[in-house]
Amino acid sequence: MNKSEKINFIIKVLEDFYPKIEIPLDHKDPYTLLIAVLLSAQSTDKGVNKITPLLFSKADNPYDMIKLSVEEIRNIIRPVGLSPMKSKGIYGLSKILIEKYEGKVPKSFKDLESLPAVGHKTASVVMSQAFGVPSFPVDTHIHRLMYRWGLSNGKSVKKTEQDAKRLFPKELWNKIHIQIILYARSFSPARAWNIRNDIIMMKIGRKSILKKMI
């Protein structure tokens, strides 16, 4: 199949698998989503979702967050890893949100990426899922599958994002990036995958279909 056919096939498979999606990280508003995404760096969504109830019970807004010390935040989030950097980032960005944005999460990539510990991927998730701005956050799962599917050369996350935005319809970006992540976790892990047989596996009802990506 040519690249256009491949894209259409991928879209169909993902829609069959995941017609309705939910953001994997538990949150209730843009601020708690921002914090959860920041915590997810080099961690799992499951691990983050175990930690955030305790953190958000103490501080689910920037005003309450800065009442905690960096050390207190660090002790709560320690299980998700990188706690020294993340705790400083959470405290620092909360302080800036109060000082510059009246306690609200800004709705622009530039402003989000200027916050401590907030990179382009984190900003993209918040812009996409909190504000509905078409974005294509690229994590390790998307980076891996775009390469395996022959849709990007795998040289950099930035290049993968550019290719994803060029190939997939803009109106699908906010949904399909989550669909790809869900698919990758279930059917295309980083390990135990045979690179000689690039296959998309679909399970629809009781049927199992193996389709080669040529």
Write out the catalytic residue numbers.
121, 139
Q: Calculate Rg over the CA atoms of the chain.
A: 19
Distances (CA, A) of 38 to 7, 16, 153, 172, 194: 30, 30, 27, 24, 32
Residues 6 or more apart whose CB falls under 8 angstroms from that of 167 comprise: 3, 7, 151
